[in-house]
């Protein structure tokens, strides 16, 4: 069932990243206190990496038990291991290399020079298998119930590597698919699908900058998910849009939250 989006608008992208990092620390700590572990899906791009960098320097960073945190990715560029354009490479530089994670709980998507070679579809199937293996009887289907799943919103309204009108955004059965012919480089990618995204307790959509303003307005104004994939990304209990003032500048006034910081 879709949850109505909640909006928080920050003055600028730096404040947005810092506030989102603080919010994420709280979510992780709460989950670990109640259940013993937490599960988070990371996103790449400038806003996702900005959040990780803010988390790295956050005073409360050490409140997290990093060894009891499961990390997954919403999508990945199908490039060789260590390529600077891979989301996992950027995440390691921004945060992961500086905190004591359990390597067995860091679930990077396969690289193009990994065991599946250049076969992005086989790599996607393998990642779906990894998700299914981590899914317990308390979960709803073949993916874990992530505590927080973060997504950057593209200027064309894409989230993860779900681009408008392309086959991946239409997928209703598989949890992970290969993407071919993506409109932004590299053309070959791996992505969670909307059904996998919707397994999360909370989905956070990050958008900062004037180039995201039109996309945010379209996605939040009732557009269909095939034409505007961000409109189809929502969580089981909460859907949170975290914006800066520039990205919120084209929102209809009835959507604009009155008490945003």
Asked, as a colleague might, if the bond just before 186 is cis with ω within 30 of 0, I would say: yes
- State the pTM of this model: 0.95
With beta carbons less than 8 A apart as the criterion, state whether 181 and 119 touch: no
Kindly report each contact of residues 218-224 with a partner whose C-beta sits within 8 Å and lies 24 or more positions away, as own/partner. Answer: 218/157, 219/153, 219/157, 220/5, 220/7, 220/251, 220/252, 220/255, 221/252, 221/255, 223/157
Dihedral of CA atoms 195, 196, 201, 207 in degrees, nearest 10, equals: -90
Tokens linked to 186: 């590299």
- 233 closest CA partner among 70, 59, 3: 3
Could you please report the per-residue DSSP string of 194-254? HHHHTTSSEEEEEE-SGGGHHHHHHHTTT--TTT-GGGG---SSEEEEEEETTTTTTS-TT
Angle formed by the axes of helices 45-56 and 87-94, nearest 10°: 30
Cα-based distances in Å from 165 to 120, 169, 225? 20, 7, 9
The sign of the dihedral angle between the CA atoms of 113, 125, 167, 144 is negative
- For tokens 């994670």, the residue is 101
- Full pLDDT tens readout for the chain, 261 residues: 667 899 999 999 999 999 999 999 999 999 999 999 999 999 999 999 999 999 999 999 999 999 999 999 999 999 999 999 999 999 999 999 999 999 999 999 999 999 999 999 999 999 999 999 999 777 667 899 999 999 999 999 999 999 999 999 999 999 999 999 999 999 999 999 999 999 999 999 999 999 999 999 999 998 999 999 999 999 999 999 999 999 999 998 777 665 544
């Amino acid at each position: 069932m879709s949850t109505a989006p909640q909006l928080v608008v920050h003055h600028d992208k730096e404040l947005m990243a810092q506030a989102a990092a603080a919010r994420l620390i709280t979510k992780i700590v709460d989950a670990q206190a109640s259940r013993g572990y937490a599960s988070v899906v990371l996103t790449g791009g400038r806003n996702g990496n900005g959040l990780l960098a803010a988390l790295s320097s956050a005073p409360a960073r050490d409140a997290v038990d990093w060894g009891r945190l499961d990390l997954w990715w919403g999508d990945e560029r199908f490039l060789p291991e260590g390529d600077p354009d891979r989301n996992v490479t950027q995440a390691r530089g921004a945060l992961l290399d500086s905190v004591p994670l359990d390597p067995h709980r860091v679930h990077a998507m396969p690289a193009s020079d990994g065991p599946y070679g250049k076969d992005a579809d086989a790599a996607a199937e393998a990642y779906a298998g990894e998700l299914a293996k981590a899914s317990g009887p308390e979960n709803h289907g073949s993916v874990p119930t992530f505590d927080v799943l973060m997504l950057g919103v593209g200027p064309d309204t894409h989230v993860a590597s779900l681009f408008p009108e392309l086959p991946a955004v239409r997928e209703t059965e598989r949890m992970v698919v290969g993407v071919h012919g993506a409109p932004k480089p590299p053309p070959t990618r791996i992505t969670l699908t909307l059904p996998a995204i919707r397994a999360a307790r909370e989905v956070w959509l990050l958008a900062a900058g004037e180039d995201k303003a039109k996309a945010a307005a379209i996605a939040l104004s009732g557009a269909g998910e095939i034409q505007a994939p961000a409109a189809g990304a929502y969580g089981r209990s909460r859907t949170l849009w975290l914006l800066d003032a520039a990205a919120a500048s084209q929102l209809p006034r009835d959507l604009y939250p009155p008490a945003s910081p």
